[in-house]
Amino acid sequence: MELSRRNFIKFVAGGAAGTALSPLPWKLTDDIAIWTQNWPWVPDPSTGEFTNVNSVCNLCPGGCGISVRKVDTRAVKIDGRTDYPVNPGGICPLGMGGLQLLYNKTIRYPGPMRRIGPKGKGEFVMITWDEALDILAKRISNLRKKGMPEAVAAVDGNQRMSTMSVMVERLLTSVGSPNYVTTPSIDDTYLISNLLLQGTDGPMSYDLENADYVLSFGCGLLEGWGAPGRVMNAWGLWHDSAGKTRAKIVQVESRASNTASKADRWVASRPGTDAALALGLAHVIIKNGLYNSRFINNFSFGFENWTSADGKDHVGFKSMVLDKYSPDQVAKITGLNPEDIVSLAKDFARAKAPIAIYGKGKDDLDGGVYECMAVHILNALVGNINKPGGVLINDPLPLSRLPEIKQDAIFKQGLGKPRIDQAGSLQYPFAGSLINNLTNKIIKSPKSPVDTILIFSANPVYTLPDGGAFKEALEKIPFVISFSPFRDETSYMADLVLPDHTYLEKMVDVVWPTGLQYPFYGLSKPVVEPLYNTRNSGDVIIELSKRIDSTVQSAFPWENFEGVLKARAKGLFKAGGLVTYDNMNPAWERKKYGNGSKHNYTSFEEMWTKIKAGGLWYQPVHGFDGWEGLFKTPDRKFEFFSKRVQLAVDEYAGKTTYKTALKNMGITVTGDQVCMPHYEAVSSDVNMSAYPLRMMPYEMINLASGWIPSPPFLYKTIFDNQLKGDLSFAAVNPKTATEYGLKQGDRVIIKSPAGEVEAGLSLSDGAMPGIVYLPLGFGHTAYDEFLRGKGVNPNEIIDAEKDPLSGHSVWWNTHVNLVRI
Amino acid sequence: MLPFCFEWLWGIDHIIFFGLLYLALVIIGLGLTFVGIKTFLQVVGILWEKDM
Amino acid sequence: MDSVLIPAGVKRCSLKLFLLWTLPWLGLLAWGALSAFLCLWKGLNQTNMTNYFAFAVWIVFDLSVIALGAGAFFTGFLTYIIGKKELKDIINIAVIIGFICYSGAVAMLGIDIGQPIRGWFIFWHANVHSMLTEVSFCITCYLVVLIIEYVPIILANRKLDEVPDFHLFGNNLHRIMAVFAATGVFLSFFHQGSLGGMYGVMYARPFAFREGFYVWPWTFFLFILSAIASGPSFLILCTKLVQGITRKKLVPEKAFQTLAKISGWLLASYMILKIADTLGWIYGVIPKAGMTFMDFFSEGPYGVWLLICEIIIFGIIPAVILLIPKARQHQGWLITGCLMNCTGIVLNRFVLTIVTLAIPVMPFDKFVSYLPTWQEWGISLALIGFGVLVVSLSYRYLPVFPKEAELNPVAE
Amino acid sequence: MKKGHDQGKHKYGMVIDLDKCTGCGTCMVACAAENNVSVRPDESDKQRSIAWMLLYKIDNGKEFPDTETSYFPRPCMHCDDNPPCVSVCPATATKIDYNTGIVSQIYTRCIGCRYCIAACPYHARTFNWWDGYFPKGKGLDRYLSPEVSPRMRGVVEKCSFCHHRLMRAKDQAYAEGRKELKEGEYITACAEACPAQAISFGDLNNPGHKVSRLSKSPFAFRILEKLGTNPKVYYLSTKDWVRKMADNYLPGEFKPVSKASASADKKTTLQGG
């Protein structure tokens, strides 16, 4: 007994000592420590050979050059290209996050899909491309057989003039439907005002880099306006203390956006009064004789009072402005001080290279035509058109036209029918397409006039500022086809999804980024092999045409999309341009043609290979400075008084009465003013006492609000007074908040005639009193856990008016009320 | 911690720090061993008369 | 039925009652165990700690219990090295409390770090310039010492004591206890100090930063002093508590008085230095950082009142109470004094951890607030449950209080 | 014990021109993409989300329409000589290399005690409260770069001045038989990505480099300079209110840089609303 216990104790003690001294415990401790350093659930990226593939980003029409770093077949990083004219080096946050769009499986369609669940639920089954194309082709050819090809419609989100958009329009035309509509873009506004003032059909070309005074009317220069890579680079140049004299930047905007805050001068005028302000500045400039008389006298029309052929006297722009837009009158409209308007006008007119630019935030949406014209007039007054740092006049990119389409009976009959959206009609003579009209027509009519709608590179259900009307329309349209590669809100409504490649998997062109001042053509190339069973929509259209019928097929004689790209690029070869870029030699530096425009190719094929390799074709900014034969208006002059408008109004008036014509066109003034840029107060029949405040959506460079979803990376850059958890915040001025007894962080319902959304309240002195600012880009109902249900989408409550003359939607002026929860 | 571990520096700070540390450990260790051995010897009855 | 284990000549409550008493504390332990499991399994996202509040309630608890646990080494020091006989009657409970505080603290630290399994890197890849390294080394070593000091007490259990080997071992251990005590004192001094140093060296955090002597900022010495000032008070409180619960006199009053007196003197001297340090900080460190004293309290719930509480209400007042013999002989005042003393020290540790981290340094940075999750509370409170259980068990089965039998003769 | 840096060969640093900075956040995204920083479904909890490069938005506190905002892009300051975080790390998991000035963080060594986070006044260090978010089958792990090891839960991470890019550049130079790097061969991802060229990166010890010129500009300053952390990240701004934001000043202590700056600083806003 004694012994055994003692032995037992000895044994225990010895055992303990033994293990402690043995390496075992130490080895184990070490091993599990090593295990924590290689946890199986911590990803371990495979390595391999590193390569860089040059391409072009086309997440927006900006067309920045990108260089994608690859490890074997994986793309691991996107960087900006320094050997690219648009964006020397940098890119925007969206482009930087692109790989998350490519590789996030849960937001992409792995192949063609047929809907099985109810519309909007996003329940699909995968089918083969054969089935998918057959279903669609049958549907279209049946409509053609039935003699109602116009029941086919398409919504196209591709950039204007890009080969994809040409293909889509061509498909519709060849099928015989006039109902090709595009998603809104400022480019429409630019095109119209250029046409009316200058008679030119080229893109708006702002020579920003060479300007020394930039007067921006609402352009979100730092919010993603134009080509972000290019504009932000310009911003760097303007503020480079080492470089040339710093340019002065003036921002006209109601909210302290990044642009307004970072500008040298922030002009906080009431939203929608840009035209008044511009004309007020014109008033001062004219009154003080600060305008360029050489330009005015020799190259403009309608400045002074004039008498028309029929002997009628007409008021000139000068007398209109002097009479109606004195600083005091304008001050009343804009809420600014008269003195400030005067000083602003003088600063502008006295600058060496001043430029007045017009926009609305990112320019993903329309602007006002009269506003745009009024702003552009300022450039005319100081004669800064086709001059360094001014507005340049360019022809459209010299791309070859595609061969004429063979016309058959169905074709003629279909195209004979009026567009459902009335674009180009007497009422909307200048509009190219009016998607809101289409929507309303479909909603209003008992049976949808559209039977089959094809949606390309667009997510209108989410992006259209129409209070959710487009979604309602889709509910009514019998057959909806989406070509989106992403599981977005619109494709959730689709009966058939024919997923496109993402931008890193396909070859597609970028045609003249918005606002760029020199001819530019970018060509992206596949950076990685397509990850899933998707197809380039261009190829799909060609394949589809084959299956519809021979007439339609005859419109697409190419075997693939690249064939079409090449066919159009022929024109570039004729025009001759550079296909390589040396960043010592910026494309915007004018060198009297000296800019090495001697190109380094001899045959088209050679040029094409080089374009494919470098992803770019451009002509350096043209150096000539002269106004001879620039303008293509009826009388070859810059028209302060637009004869085109006059004709249009008269024609329409001929059909009805002058009054109703103006009324339907949304014009409140009469007489000669109608044909001149003037200020139109936003009309609205909303009961102001019920909706005393106004809601303006605002855009951010670091949040995608277009059809491309935000890469999750971007949410790291969003501040927690913009999004917290699932609550997005409306920015409101503290004064306004106290008026309504609201305080920082309150949850509120924002009510408009079109609906209501819930948001948090974030007090900000950067917000104009009386206005509620809601961020665009939140409130997705599709995609995955990163985006779904985060915040609200202001578009849902936007109740848009119509812009005079163009009929575009006025999306930035919704009357709302705040209710605390 | 030990001279053959790569953080080890023959710097004054290391020597002081670890010097004191090891000193403490040694004292504790020796103390325990002493008590252990003493007890053992007492138990088996050699040396030390059991004082209890 | 467990009577065989109960020390001879003393009375204990029935086993049933005892088990009943342990229930709530076991409950706390269970809560703590669950929390610990979650934190280890899912990670520290189970807490409300953030990149602003990198240290939180756990560290406050750690610092506090370690300060209060200082009673152990200091009483040991007084008993074995200075040779204050009367403290022999209280040294056991002192050791036990020390053991509880330190083992608890070490356990909490184990959960507090993001990679517990790599905890030993502190030793293996030690960075000798880090106060935290010093802390870890000393605490671990001192915990060993405490165990060594605790062992004889356990071996003195009636049943174990029957085993001659144990008996001998315990005795022998007890004989050279002075050696261990001395080592313990050395170790404790250093880790108490380096705990304070941890904050004093953060020179980019003006709220915590202090000038100092050689590598040691003043907080190093202040922490030692405040620990040994509050330790004895805590010891008094705990013992009084045990006496209250057991409704017995377990320790002669003399022991309490000695401790109280010492505690008082130390607290007084600590206060003088603390005030000097605070002034030096206000007129030295803060202006150098471009701030004024009041800047720290411009936002958030923490205000000057914290300092006033810490220094005047829970510093000077208890010092005075404990220094006046008449006052400390009065039970009520004695308890109050000790209580306030301990509160003051806990407050000090709280301010140095939480407030330091809560106050933004960059002018454009913002004040963020923090509230612990139930997991954090669980682990913190488990420490208390653990403590009560250990004391209860020790009291029931071990001759913790040598004088108990004599003070409470069991009526036959 | 306290080693100075001056004997160091290179001293890589950054200069950020706040007049050029547009607050677009590309630097943050570029950084996260370059360094395999995990993105969680909810990134709105800013106290817990991980960002090596972080944008701070500041404003001049004036009322509409005189209010003005600006941004502070904040990478790790890579404090020189004796960084507050390095000396406190118990496990030597973070070090400063005196030949480059780069303050490194060894994730596999870090035990997650977060002492360094407490010691850093810039909040440049963030803790991995969760495991990285790369759900199986989602495919997001496909863009991870093998040059930067993804972090595990429970460790601290921070900006490394894209140390792997230095390695890359060195290899390149070595392959071309060069010992020294040319200016611009090694720059951080944020500097490369900035669309406004607001961020310059280079060797502060090399007078030829842009950064060492800019860092001596009268408009140059650093955040919390007074604390003696000696950051290697400089900022430029002609606006006094912005410069004043960068450090704590006793009343009357702040000195506007110069008349020139004062005029450049004057921003006029026209009354509206």
Structural contact between residues A348 and A354, judged by C-beta atoms closer than 8 angstroms: yes
Give me the sign of the Cα torsion angle C23, C27, C30, C32: negative
Tell me, what DSSP letter sits at residue C281? I
Is residue A303 over pLDDT 80? yes
CA distance A713 to A93: 9
pLDDT of the residue at D7: 56
CA distance A809 to A638: 27
| Distance in Å from the first CA to the final CA of chain A | 80
Structural contact between residues D71 and D56, judged by C-beta atoms closer than 8 angstroms: yes
CA distance A713 to A95: 11
Nearest to A104 by CA among D31, D222, D143: D143
Q: How many CB atoms lie within 10 A of CB A187?
A: 22
pLDDT of the residue at D265: 41
Structural contact between residues D139 and A105, judged by C-beta atoms closer than 8 angstroms: yes
Structural contact between residues A50 and A74, judged by C-beta atoms closer than 8 angstroms: no
Residues on chain D touching A79 (C-beta within 8 angstroms): 30, 189, 192-193
Nearest to D26 by CA among A223, A93, A95, A79: A93
Measure the CA dihedral A646/A651/A657/A663, to 10°.
-60
* B39–C contact, CB cutoff 8 A: yes
pLDDT of the residue at B6: 63
Nearest to D89 by CA among B8, C217, C194, C131: C131
Q: Position A89: which residue type?
A: G
pLDDT of the residue at A595: 47
pLDDT of the residue at A528: 96
- Residue A649 contacts by C-beta under 8 Å, 6 or more apart in sequence? A658, A661, A662, A665, A667, A674, A675
pLDDT bucket at A641, cuts 50 / 70 / 90: very high
- Residue C148 contacts by C-beta under 8 Å, 6 or more apart in sequence? B28, B31, B32, C173, C180
Give me the sign of the Cα torsion angle A683, A688, A691, A693: positive
pLDDT of the residue at A142: 95
The reply to whether residue C365 touches residue D56, judged by beta carbons under 8 angstroms, is: yes
Nearest to A63 by CA among A187, A211, A162: A162
* D197–A contact, CB cutoff 8 A: yes
Q: Render pLDDT for A494-529 as a digit per residue (tens, 0 to 9).
A: 999 999 999 999 999 999 999 999 999 999 999 999
pLDDT of the residue at A597: 56
pLDDT of the residue at B7: 65
Q: Render pLDDT for A5-41 as a digit per residue (tens, 0 to 9).
A: 667 767 777 788 788 778 888 888 888 988 988 899 9
Q: Angle between the A369-381 and A274-287 helix axes, to the nearest 10 degrees?
A: 20
CA distance C262 to A807: 90
CA distance A737 to A818: 9
Give the H or E element holding residue C57. Answer: helix C57-68
Is residue D35 over pLDDT 60? yes
CA distance C263 to C78: 12
Q: Render pLDDT for C252-264 as a digit per residue (tens, 0 to 9).
A: 999 999 999 999 9
Query: Which of C63, C106, C127 best tests the D interface by mutation, with the highest count of D CBs <10 A?
Result: C127
The reply to whether residue A36 touches residue C118, judged by beta carbons under 8 angstroms, is: yes
Radius of gyration of chain D (CA): 20
| Distance in Å from the first CA to the final CA of chain B | 43
Share of chain D above pLDDT 70, in %: 91
CA distance A672 to A640: 11
pTM of the model: 0.93
* C129–D contact, CB cutoff 8 A: yes
Is residue B5 over pLDDT 90? no
Average pLDDT, chain A: 92
Averaged over A194-199, what is the pLDDT?
95
Is residue D80 over pLDDT 60? yes
Among the partner-chain residues D24, D267, D268, the one whose CB lies closest to the CB of A232 is D24
Radius of gyration of chain B (CA): 18
CA distance C191 to C72: 14
- Residue C309 contacts by C-beta under 8 Å, 6 or more apart in sequence? C344, C347
Q: Render pLDDT for A369-378 as a digit per residue (tens, 0 to 9).
A: 999 999 999 9
Is residue D6 over pLDDT 90? no
Averaged over A193-220, what is the pLDDT?
94
Stretches where chain C sits below pLDDT 50 are none
CA distance D42 to A788: 11
The reply to whether residue A35 touches residue C120, judged by beta carbons under 8 angstroms, is: no
Is residue D262 over pLDDT 80? no
Is residue B23 over pLDDT 50? yes
With 0-12 / 13-18 / 19 or more C-beta atoms within 10 angstroms meaning exposed / middle / buried, residue C126 is buried
CA distance D103 to D116: 12
Residue carrying the six token digits 């770069």: D145
pLDDT of the residue at C214: 84
pLDDT of the residue at B52: 46
CA distance B34 to D178: 64
D178: distance to nearest CA of chain C, Å?
Answer: 36
Residues on chain C touching B13 (C-beta within 8 angstroms): 128-129
Helices (H) and strands (E) in chain C, counts: 19, 2
Measure the CA dihedral D194/D199/D205/D209, to 10°.
70
The reply to whether residue D1 touches residue B7, judged by beta carbons under 8 angstroms, is: no
pLDDT of the residue at D266: 46
Tokens of A682: 């936003």
The reply to whether residue B1 touches residue C126, judged by beta carbons under 8 angstroms, is: yes
* B52–C contact, CB cutoff 8 A: yes
Residues 196-215 of D with CB under 8 A from C: none
CA distance A240 to D190: 19
pLDDT bucket at D257, cuts 50 / 70 / 90: confident
C294-311 per-residue burial string, b: 16 or more CB within 10 A, e: under 16: ebbbeeeebeeebbebbb
With 0-12 / 13-18 / 19 or more C-beta atoms within 10 angstroms meaning exposed / middle / buried, residue C127 is buried
The reply to whether residue D92 touches residue B7, judged by beta carbons under 8 angstroms, is: yes
Is residue A625 over pLDDT 90? no
pLDDT bucket at D269, cuts 50 / 70 / 90: low
Tokens of C387: 């403590």
Tokens of A624: 């000539």
Residue C367: closest C-alpha in chain D: D47
B13: distance to nearest CA of chain D, Å?
Answer: 8
Interface of C with B (CB under 8 A): 123-129, 134, 137, 141, 144-145, 148, 164-165, 167-169, 171-173, 176, 179-180, 183, 186-187
Is residue D91 over pLDDT 70? yes
C47: distance to nearest CA of chain B, Å?
Answer: 32
pLDDT of the residue at A101: 96
The reply to whether residue D22 touches residue A262, judged by beta carbons under 8 angstroms, is: yes
Averaged over A693-701, what is the pLDDT?
95
Q: Render pLDDT for D111-150 as a digit per residue (tens, 0 to 9).
A: 999 999 999 999 999 999 999 999 988 999 999 999 999 9
Structural contact between residues C197 and C128, judged by C-beta atoms closer than 8 angstroms: no
Q: Position A464: which residue type?
A: L
CA distance A639 to A647: 14
Is residue D236 over pLDDT 50? yes
The reply to whether residue C144 touches residue B36, judged by beta carbons under 8 angstroms, is: no
Half-sphere exposure of A612 (CA within 13 A, CB side): 13
CA C325 to mean position of chain CA atoms: 26
| Distance in Å from the first CA to the final CA of chain C | 19
With 0-12 / 13-18 / 19 or more C-beta atoms within 10 angstroms meaning exposed / middle / buried, residue A570 is middle
Residues on chain A touching C121 (C-beta within 8 angstroms): 33
* D179–A contact, CB cutoff 8 A: no
Q: How many CB atoms lie within 10 A of CB A8?
A: 10
With 0-12 / 13-18 / 19 or more C-beta atoms within 10 angstroms meaning exposed / middle / buried, residue C18 is middle
B17: distance to nearest CA of chain C, Å?
Answer: 7
ipTM: 0.93
Measure the CA dihedral A115/A120/A122/A123, to 10°.
-50
* C303–D contact, CB cutoff 8 A: no
- Residue A748 contacts by C-beta under 8 Å, 6 or more apart in sequence? A730, A742, A758, A759, A760, A761, A818, A819, A820, A821
